[in-house]
Structure 1
Amino acid sequence: MASKTLSFSWCLVICLLALLGRSSGGGRFKPSAWSLAHATFYGDDSASETMGGACGYGNLFNNGYGTDTAALSTTLFNDGYACGTCYQIKCYQSTACYKDVSFTTVTATNLCPPNWAEDSNNGGWCNPPRAHFDMSKPAFEKIAEWKVGIIPVLYRRVPCIRSGGLRFQFQGNAYWLLVYVMNVGGGGDIASMWVKGSGTGWISMSHNWGASYQAFATLGGQSLSFKVTSYTTKQTIVAYNVAPSNWNAGLTYQSNVNFH
């Protein structure tokens, strides 16, 4: 009986250590307070012009983001660290607002660059220090009449609800690995990232641009694991054995862990 109890205790300790190894620090992301901004839209009803973008998510339909997306002004974009963040947006004090719609939720997938040739209050909507959302047309049409062009809005950061684990899209080669991280839950954003080959220790990856991180290391022929820290919550999770030893650039590999 004592032997069985001891075995159970060791099992409990090992399980707890495994959980701690997969997630540490920080906490769950909570909605922020409401703030005032403005919103416009770009593209047409198909949202085809929103594909790609500064975050590097590529085809937003294939990668799970759909048409509920927005480009952020420089002030909100934060040099790409805001890629993947989620916002509730509601039309505010405009005759174009739909009265029966409280808000819509969008993911940041692009940058709305400054237009220094125009005044910030007359065409240069994304000029610093303005907080501005250039939404896909389908997303904009969920809260207001599109013909008005620009509306005042209230917005707040909210947790990103994602199905499945983090997705890692590979570019580069055996000596330079560039990874786009997608389908990020919780805060939706990434502060730092590491990669570990089956024959290496943890290697720090540098922020390239948007949602991409790079490592100048010889990783070809090794299975790869990743450690990712959220920019907002500071929580760190570890995705073990995400890619097999015969991984290839151009492919996307999905883990079984995510932020919440």
Structure 2
Amino acid sequence: MGFALQYCCSLLFVTVLLPAVLCCSQDFFVSSRATFYASPDSLGNPTGACGFGEYGRTVNGGEVSGVSGLYKNGTGCGACYQVRCKNPQYCSEDGAKIVVTDYGEGDRTDFILSLRAYTKLARPNMVVELQAYGVVDIEYQSIPCQYPGSNLMFKVHEHSRFPEYLAIVILYQAGVNEITSVEVWQNDCQQWRGMRRAYGAVWDMANPPRGALDLRFQVSGSAGVKWMQMRNVIPSDWKAGAAYETGIQLA
């Protein structure tokens, strides 16, 4: 995935029941338009506005998308959608299941798909014909993300500087709810300190607490607003570029 993996030693405790909060999907489709962008390998953009880096290029097999209105100032990063086009002559029934990794505006489009994702919209042997349209009418719905065998991770962003500046990115977020707030426990004053959304899915903090870090984050969706709390999720000797596994699968 382009970064070293390190694992938290202690398992975490969670303040909410994950399936109830994070697994509900919409049961209706919304009409819109989609286009695609070309890249040499047909995958995602490693410099996308969500801040995912290499993960944003290859996650979900490179079936990813930039979005405009659905970006929601970065809150929409990591969301998953089923996208299918409407021309029965060229379009497949299931379409593509994509992960939002970037921001992008097109000709009245909600999605700018990677070429690998765009080809999934087409029926077999109809890819070239569908590409010729450039922009197609589509319908989409929000769905849970599928990451078999992968747990939620916190990646320490490469721009972090131990110990005075910490930036994190949340990877393998599943469900259809949005993460709207992230906080770190400040043990010496016995209170939670809010992290700032720097951009996209990147949260940061100057002068973070010393020692292993307890985090909590707020999720918002159809089930309301809930907090998830995790102990010692980031070790005391955290390193820029490392990712720390939580032991939780947001199925």
- Superposed displacement of residue 187, structure 1: 2.0
Residue 58 of structure 1 is matched in structure 2 by: 53
For residue 195 of structure 2, the aligned residue among 184, 202, 205 is 205
DSSP-derived class of the 1:22 partner? coil
TM-score computed with the length of structure 2 as normaliser: 0.78
For residue 162 of structure 1, the aligned residue among 118, 139, 147 is 147
Question: 2: CA distance between counterparts of 1:225 and 1:47?
Answer: 38
- Letter of the 2:70 partner, please give it: L
Question: 2: CA distance between counterparts of 1:61 and 1:169?
Answer: 13
- Letter of the 1:50 partner, please give it: N
Question: 1: CA distance between counterparts of 2:250 and 2:120?
Answer: 28
- Superposed displacement of residue 155, structure 1: 0.3
1:140 aligns with 2:118: yes
**Greater Cα radius of gyration, structure 1 or 2:** 1
How many residues align? The count is 224
TM-align CA RMSD = 2.6
Residue 216 of structure 2 is matched in structure 1 by: 227
The CA deviation string for residues 201-243 of structure 1, in whole angstroms up to 9 with x for no partner, is 42211211111111223434x1112112223353322222122
- Superposed displacement of residue 53, structure 1: 0.3
- Letter of the 1:57 partner, please give it: F
Question: 2: CA distance between counterparts of 1:250 and 1:44?
Answer: 25
Gaps of 5+ in 1: 1-17, 114-123
Q: Which has the higher contact order (CA 8 A, sep 6+)?
A: 2
> Is the CA contact (8 Å cut-off) linking 1:86 and 1:188 kept in structure 2?
no
Correspondence list, 1:59-208, <5 A: 59-60=54-55, 64-73=59-68, 75-93=69-87, 95-98=89-92, 101-113=93-105, 124-125=106-107, 130-144=108-122, 145=127, 146-163=131-148, 164-171=150-157, 172-173=160-161, 174-187=163-176, 189-196=178-185, 201-208=191-198
Gaps of 5+ in 2: 1-11
Question: 1: CA distance between counterparts of 2:58 and 2:179?
Answer: 17
- Letter of the 1:169 partner, please give it: K
TM-score computed with the length of structure 1 as normaliser: 0.76
Question: 2: CA distance between counterparts of 1:179 and 1:191?
Answer: 14
Give the number of the structure whose residues are more often strand, by fraction.
2
Deviating 4+ runs (over 6 angstroms) = none
